[in-house]
Amino acid sequence: MGALLQGRLERGGYVAMLRNLHAVYAALESALAAQAAAPLLQPFDLPALARADALAADLALLHGADWAAALPLAPAAAAYARRLAALPATALVAHAYVRYLGDLSGGQVLARLVARRYGIAAGAGTRFYEFGDEARALALKQSFRDALSALPVTAAEADAVVDEALWAFRQHRLLFDELA
């Protein structure tokens, strides 16, 4: 991510990053969909935040239709996806927080940076970062934060959510180290 922000990440490295993020988002969104009826997840507008389809579209444009078969999956991404498939709704909230709020916070800037760095038109290959206009992105972010603040969890459950979010941050660092 540092190389991307500094303009040093080659297109192939960027595509590899997207491929691995797709595995994480696909697993997260599959797990969230499987538990969509859980009362804990009801306050979150998760379909509006979904990124897997956008990532797949970006990968098809930037690499080609064979991206899923042609691009390898890093061990850290595979481990992350396996973990997501086995988590309860409370822990999934932690991963949704790490991924979606991060995307909502930096997505607009990254979309412009990626378009400029790789010479692609805005909206072509940057769907991953698109949540609508700035007002829509801010509304989604605030809605997510409000739902997070209102979670009906005990102190122990809140600690478990924080621990899971910390695991997610560590796993992302491991993934980016593997990709570097």
What would you report as the CA-atom Rg of the chain, rounded to the nearest whole angstrom?
Answer: 16
pLDDT at 132: 87
pLDDT in tens, 129-160: 999 888 999 999 999 999 999 999 999 999 99
Q: What pTM does this model have?
A: 0.94
pLDDT in tens, 53-95: 999 999 999 999 999 999 999 999 999 999 999 999 999 999 9
Is residue 78 packed enough to be buried (19+ CB in 10 Å), middle (13-18) or exposed (0-12)?
middle
- Mean pLDDT throughout 113-123? 86
3-state secondary structure of 156: helix
Give the confidence band of 110 by pLDDT, cuts at 50, 70, 90. Answer: confident
Task: Identify the DSSP state of 45.
Answer: -
**For the chain, which domains are there?**
2-179 (1.20.910.10)
- Mean pLDDT throughout 115-129? 87
Residue from 19, 23, 31 nearest 94 by CA = 31
The span from the CA of 155 to the CA of 50, in Å, is 29
